[in-house]
C-alpha cells in the first residue's frame, strides 16, 4: 500500500503527489479540472467561482492536503465552499443592507457547501448539497458543531471535516465570497429565471414583485441564493416557506443549472469570454494550489456543449435534532443517505444520467378556489376545509346562483398537473378543463350535482428504490439506489407553454 494512503474501510484516500509532479496525465487532468471550473460558474452563493485561464500571479491559492485519484479515468470530487465573509462588502454597495449591520456575523463561515463529483470519462456531473446546520465532529476539535463552523478554523479543517463526517474523499477545493459571486453573475449578464409567484425575503433582500421572467443580476442573484426565510404570494396572501436551509439548497441547485445554461450562450470556447469571467472572480476566489493553468486552458472546447439539463442534483437526507444547548440542527439520516453517499464515495455504480424535467407539483404549491354549483348548501366550505387540511392553499369559497351537472377543475394554461393533483380528492371523477384566465399556481373547483364526497386519496405502496436485477459480478459495486427523498422548499415554476426566459 502507498505509505501516504489510509484505509478507512469504506474508501481509500490517496494523498496528492507533491507540487511539481502529477498523478494524472495532462489531457485527463485538463478534462477533469475543466469540468470543475465550468460547474463553478453556475453554482451560486457558496457554490460559485470563476474559471478558465487563471493567472498564477493573481489568483489566490490555498495549500491543502487533499485526496488524490489514482487513475486518469477515475471521477473526482470538488468541494465548493461559499464563504460568508463580508470583508469586501461596503455600506454603499448594492444589497449591502442585507449583509451588513449590527447583527451581521464577523469572520467567516461556510455559507454553503457543495460537492461536485466529476467523471472525466463520461462528461457527468453530480452535485450534492451539504446542509450548513449539519451537526458533526469538527476536525481538530474535541466537540461537535455545525459543519459550516469548520471553515472559521481553516480551509483544511472544512476539507477534513467533510471527509471524516461523510466518508467522501475531496480531490480539489474552490471557494468564493459574496463579492465574487455578485461579480460573476454580472459577468455572465445575469441569470434568467421564471417566477410563477411574487417572492420576497426581508433577511436576504430578495424582492420579486410580479410573476414572470426575471433576469437576476448580481444583487438579486445573491439574495435569491441566500434566501432562508422566503415568502411567496399565492394571489391571496403571503405564504412562508418553512424549509429554511434545505429549501435554499434546492433553489441553489436550480440556479446552478440556469447559470450554466446562460454561461453557455456566451461562447465558452472563446478566450475573451473566459478572460472576462476570470477578471470578475479575481480577488474573491480561491483554488487549491494543485490546479494548474494547464488544467484549465481547455475548458471551453471540452464543455461548451455540456447540457445543463444533465446536471444530476442530490440532497443529503437529514433529520432534525436539538442539541443539549437547545440549538436546532440536523443529523444525517444514515439509512436514507447511504445510496447518495456511496455514489460520491465511488463505492456504487451511478444510475444512468437523466435530463431534468419539471418536478411534479405538490399540494403546498396549489391555491384552490371552490365554487358550489351542486345545489346543496355548505359543500364548497367543506371541500375547501378538507383540501386545506391536506396541504393545499386556501383560496376563495364562492356560492353559485346556478347548478351544473358535472364537477369541473379548471387550471391555468400548461398546468394540468395541478388539476390532476386535486382530482383524486373528489368523487365522482371531475372533468379537467384549461382556463387561460386563471392565475399561475391556482385551480378552480366547481362542484356539480354529481359531487359525492371529498376525502384524501388512498396511498399506494411506493415501488422499490432499485429494480431487481441479476446479481452483480464479484467485486462489482451495486448500482446506486435512486434516493427516495424529494427536494424540499418553494422553487420557481416552469414557464407556461409558449413562454421562454432568454
Q: How many CB atoms lie within 10 A of CB 496?
A: 14
Q: What is the mean pLDDT of residues 45-61?
A: 47
- For CA atoms 459, 463, 464, 465, the dihedral sign is negative
Is the distance from CB of 24 to CB of 14 less than 8 angstroms?
no
The DSSP element (H or E) to which 276 belongs, if any, is helix 271-281
Q: Kindly report the backbone phi and psi dihedral angles of residue 160, in degrees, each rounded to the nearest multiple of 5, phi listed first.
A: -65, -40
Going along 157-201, which residue ranges are E strands? 172-176, 191-195, 199-201
The residue to which cell 383524486 is assigned: 424
Domains in the chain: ranges and CATH: 5-188+243-345 (3.40.630.190), 363-454 (3.30.70.2390)
Is the distance from CB of 381 to CB of 397 less than 8 angstroms?
yes
pLDDT at 42: 36
Grid cell at residue 447: 362542484
Is the distance from CB of 299 to CB of 264 less than 8 angstroms?
no
CA distance 107 to 89: 13
The residues facing 176 across adjacent strands are 82, 285
Query: Residue 396, class by beta-carbon neighbours within 10 Å (0-12 exposed, 13-18 middle, 19+ buried)?
Result: middle
Please write the tens of the pLDDT for every residue from 116-139: 888 766 778 888 989 889 999 999
> Which among 252, 295, 260 is positioned nearest to 40, based on CA atoms?
260
Please write the tens of the pLDDT for every residue from 13-37: 333 433 433 333 333 333 233 333 4
pLDDT at 66: 94
Grid cell at residue 466: 432499485
Please write the tens of the pLDDT for every residue from 294-343: 555 544 455 556 677 777 888 899 999 999 999 999 999 999 999 999 99
pLDDT at 305: 63
CA distance 66 to 154: 14
Q: How many CB atoms lie within 10 A of CB 101?
A: 10
The DSSP symbol for 193 reads E
> Which among 50, 35, 298, 33 is positioned nearest to 175, based on CA atoms?
50
pLDDT at 144: 94
The average confidence (pLDDT) of the chain is 74
CA distance 347 to 438: 49
Instruction: Kindly tell me if the per-residue pLDDT of 373 is higher than 50.
Output: yes
pLDDT at 273: 61
CA distance 292 to 156: 19
Instruction: Tell how strand 60-62 and strand 285-288 pair up.
Output: parallel
Q: What is the mean pLDDT of residues 200-214?
A: 92
Instruction: Kindly tell me if the per-residue pLDDT of 81 is higher than 80.
Output: yes
pLDDT at 474: 36
Please write the tens of the pLDDT for every residue from 163-197: 999 999 999 898 877 776 777 788 788 889 999 88
Better-predicted residue by pLDDT, 184 or 216: 216
Label residue 253 by pLDDT band (50, 70, 90). confident
Most confident of 150-154, 196-200, 297-301: 196-200
Is the distance from CB of 229 to CB of 201 less than 8 angstroms?
yes
Among 214-223, 284-293, 420-429, 471-480, where is mean pLDDT lowest?
Answer: 471-480
CA distance 143 to 415: 49
Among 169-173, 267-271, 448-452, where is mean pLDDT lowest?
Answer: 267-271
Is the distance from CB of 408 to CB of 438 less than 8 angstroms?
no
Grid cell at residue 399: 356560492
The DSSP symbol for 358 reads P
Amino acid at each position: 500500500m502507498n505509505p501516504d494512503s489510509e484505509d478507512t474501510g469504506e474508501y481509500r484516500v490517496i494523498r496528492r503527489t507533491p507540487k511539481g509532479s502529477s498523478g494524472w496525465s495532462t489531457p485527463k487532468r485538463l478534462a477533469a479540472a475543466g469540468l470543475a471550473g465550468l460547474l463553478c460558474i453556475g453554482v451560486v452563493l457558496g457554490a460559485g467561482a470563476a474559471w478558465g485561464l487563471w493567472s498564477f500571479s493573481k489568483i489566490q491559492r490555498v495549500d491543502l492536503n487533499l485526496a488524490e485519484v489514482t487513475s486518469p479515468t477515475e471521477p473526482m470530487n470538488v468541494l465548493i465552499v461559499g464563504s460568508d465573509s463580508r470583508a469586501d462588502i461596503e455600506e454603499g454597495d448594492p444589497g449591502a443592507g442585507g449583509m451588513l449591520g449590527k447583527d451581521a456575523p464577523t469572520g467567516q463561515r461556510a455559507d454553503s457547501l457543495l460537492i461536485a463529483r466529476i467523471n472525466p470519462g463520461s462528461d457527468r456531473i453530480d452535485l450534492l448539497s451539504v446542509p450548513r446546520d449539519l451537526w458533526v465532529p469538527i476536525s481538530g476539535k474535541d466537540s461537535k458543531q455545525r459543519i459550516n463552523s469548520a471553515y472559521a478554523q481553516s480551509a483544511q479543517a472544512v476539507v477534513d471535516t467533510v471527509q471524516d463526517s461523510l466518508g467522501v474523499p475531496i480531490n480539489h477545493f474552490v471557494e468564493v465570497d459574496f463579492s465574487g459571486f455578485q461579480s460573476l453573475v454580472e459577468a455572465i449578464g445575469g441569470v434568467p429565471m421564471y417566477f410563477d409567484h411574487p417572492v420576497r425575503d426581508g433577511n436576504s433582500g430578495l424582492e420579486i414583485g410580479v410573476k414572470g421572467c426575471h433576469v437576476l443580476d448580481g444583487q438579486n442573484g445573491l439574495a435569491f441564493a441566500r434566501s432562508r426565510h422566503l415568502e411567496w404570494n399565492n394571489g391571496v396572501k403571503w405564504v412562508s416557506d418553512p424549509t429554511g436551509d434545505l429549501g435554499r439548497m434546492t433553489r441553489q441547485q436550480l440556479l446552478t443549472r440556469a447559470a450554466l445554461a446562460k454561461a453557455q450562450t456566451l461562447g465558452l470556447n472563446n478566450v475573451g469570454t473566459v478572460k472576462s469571467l476570470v477578471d470578475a472572480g479575481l480577488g474573491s476566489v480561491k483554488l487549491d494550489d494543485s490546479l494548474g493553468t494547464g488544467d484549465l486552458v481547455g475548458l471551453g472546447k471540452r464543455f461548451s456543449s455540456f447540457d445543463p439539463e444533465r446536471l444530476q442534483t442530490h440532497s443529503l437526507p437529514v433529520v432534525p435534532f436539538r442539541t443539549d444547548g437547545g440549538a436546532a440542527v440536523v443529523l444525517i439520516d444514515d439509512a436514507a443517505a447511504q445510496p447518495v453517499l456511496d455514489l460520491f464515495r465511488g463505492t456504487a455504480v451511478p444510475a444512468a444520467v437523466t435530463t431534468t424535467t419539471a418536478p411534479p407539483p405538490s399540494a403546498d404549491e396549489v391555491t384552490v378556489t371552490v365554487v358550489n354549483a351542486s345545489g346543496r348548501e355548505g359543500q364548497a366550505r367543506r371541500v375547501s376545509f378538507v383540501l386545506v387540511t391536506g396541504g393545499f392553499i386556501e383560496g376563495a369559497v364562492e356560492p353559485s346562483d346556478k347548478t351544473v351537472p358535472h364537477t369541473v377543475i379548471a387550471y391555468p394554461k400548461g398546468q394540468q398537473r395541478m388539476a390532476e393533483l386535486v382530482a383524486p380528492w373528489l368523487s365522482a371523477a371531475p372533468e379537467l378543463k384549461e382556463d387561460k384566465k386563471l392565475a399561475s399556481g391556482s385551480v378552480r373547483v366547481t362542484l356539480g350535482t354529481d359531487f359525492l364526497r371529498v376525502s384524501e386519496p388512498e396511498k399506494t405502496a411506493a415501488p422499490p428504490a432499485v429494480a431487481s436485477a441479476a446479481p452483480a459480478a464479484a467485486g462489482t459495486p451495486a448500482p446506486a439506489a435512486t434516493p427516495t427523498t424529494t427536494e424540499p422548499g418553494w422553487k420557481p415554476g416552469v414557464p407556461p407553454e409558449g413562454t421562454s426566459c432568454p
